[in-house]
Amino acid sequence: MNKESTAVDLAQQAAAGDNFTAAYDIERIRADFPILKQKVYGKPLVYLDNGASAQKPRQVLDAMNEAYETYYSNVHRGVHWTSQTSTEAFEGSRKKVAAFLNAVSENEIIFTRGATEAINLVAASWGGANLNPGDEVILSHMEHHSNIVPWQILRQQKEIELKIVPIDDDGNFLFDEYQKMLSEKTKMVAVTHVSNALGTIVPVVDVIRLAHDKGALVLLDGCQAVPHMAVDVQALDADFYVFSGHKLYGPTAIGVLWGREDLLNAMPPYQSGGDMISSVTFEKTTFKKSPHRFEAGTPAITEAIGLGAAIDYVGAVGLGNISAHEQGVLQYASERLQAVEGLRIIGQAREKASIISFVIDGIHAHDLGTFVDRAGVAVRVGHHCAQPVMERYGIAATARASFGLYNTREEVDVLTDALIQAKEFFG
């Protein structure tokens, strides 16, 4: 076997039935990510900030470079080779996203600039057309600001009511309280699939089932879910699902809104301009159906192509394999961090993705982040765009280690040693 074979090569060979066992070869996976060869302050980079944005494998970088170098052009309507080739690659990525989510059709996949824009789109378009004064939207206490503020703006515009599902001290979604909140006035339940601040996995299947029993729709924020687990929107029976490309080992400035096609085609356009129109006169404009109905102007062409390559990558490695690996790292980290005097893990829900938020008594999170950075360790510090979560625990900020498919137990040891040194330094 060629020693230069990538992790994707190995996974694809295994899927094809080659005579070898495809173990989770972490070193081959890490070799696919050029930035992991980087040194910071003379120390190997330990990148534990995947919850904010994940690194990109060479396969994604190569796909985007190839597009720019060999066939880039604006998409749709062009009759020349470069435009047709770009269009095929762009729309090919849409098909990959549809398969990734097990959507019924690629017509249900809308490219956005990110999950933030996707949620704003649903709130402004569906919410603006369908919500009336007194209607209720249910959120959870764990929401990212991107799934709070658009609904607050809609509340100002439409005089709707917002209800918030609480969490317990461990960060569990309080399902019984959610059940009590549901009523005939509930029109939308918009909740995270996985908390970015705590790692809590919300029981979304049951959330959706009860919402539908009341005639309400459900939007799931899947940003922290899709890098770590398989998502099947048909099995979930969701109505809308959103995620960002850059957390799925893809580029920035590209995100996805999946929605049921009947809902999307009934929604008014979110923005207007080129490529989303069917016809224009000075008297009247008619609009295309989904997805182009919601993709005004020149889209993020190479970014969509890069997202398609990222989906190919995680698909080849296998989301089941990724999840098993990350859960092993999460368990190890949860145990090792207990060695740090005064450290408290914030959020220990029964079901967690590979995210650990923590504080150390007497040390501000920003000081922790700065200190471990000198050891080459990248963690996120602050409120993680989840200020209500911080308020719930009576703290201003946490340090957050979020693990991805390329992280190792040895990197956890580097983090732990750096935190022990920080405790000694700050007293």
**Residues whose CB falls within 8 Å of the CB of residue 344, separated by 6 or more in sequence, listed in order:** 358, 359, 360, 361
Over range 82-101, report the average pLDDT. Answer: 98
DSSP for 119-150? HHHIIIIIIHHH--TT-EEEEETT--GGGTHH
pLDDT of residue 347: 98
- pTM of the full structure: 0.94
Question: What is the chain's alpha carbon radius of gyration, rounded to the nearest angstrom?
Answer: 22
Mind listing the pLDDT tens digit for each residue in 140-191?
999 999 999 999 999 999 999 999 999 999 999 999 999 999 999 999 999 9
* Domain residue extents for the chain: 7-56+318-422, 62-315
SS3 162: strand
Give the pLDDT band of residue 324 (cuts 50, 70, 90). very high
Is there a contact between 105 and 265 (Cβ–Cβ < 8 Å)? no
Q: Is the pLDDT of residue 17 over 70?
A: no
Over range 198-205, report the average pLDDT. Answer: 98
Give the pLDDT band of residue 12 (cuts 50, 70, 90). very low
Q: Is the pLDDT of residue 16 over 90?
A: no
Assigned CATH class of 7-56+318-422: alpha beta
Beta strands in 235-276 (DSSP E): 240-244, 255-259
Q: Does domain 62-315 have CATH number 3.40.640.10?
A: yes
Indicate which residues carry an active-site annotation.
385
Over range 201-212, report the average pLDDT. Answer: 98
E strand or H helix at 161: strand 161-165
Angle at 110 between CA 106 and CA 113, to 5 degrees: 145
Mind listing the pLDDT tens digit for each residue in 390-420?
999 999 999 999 999 999 999 999 999 999 9
Q: Do domains 7-56+318-422 and 62-315 have the same CATH topology?
A: no
pLDDT of residue 274: 85
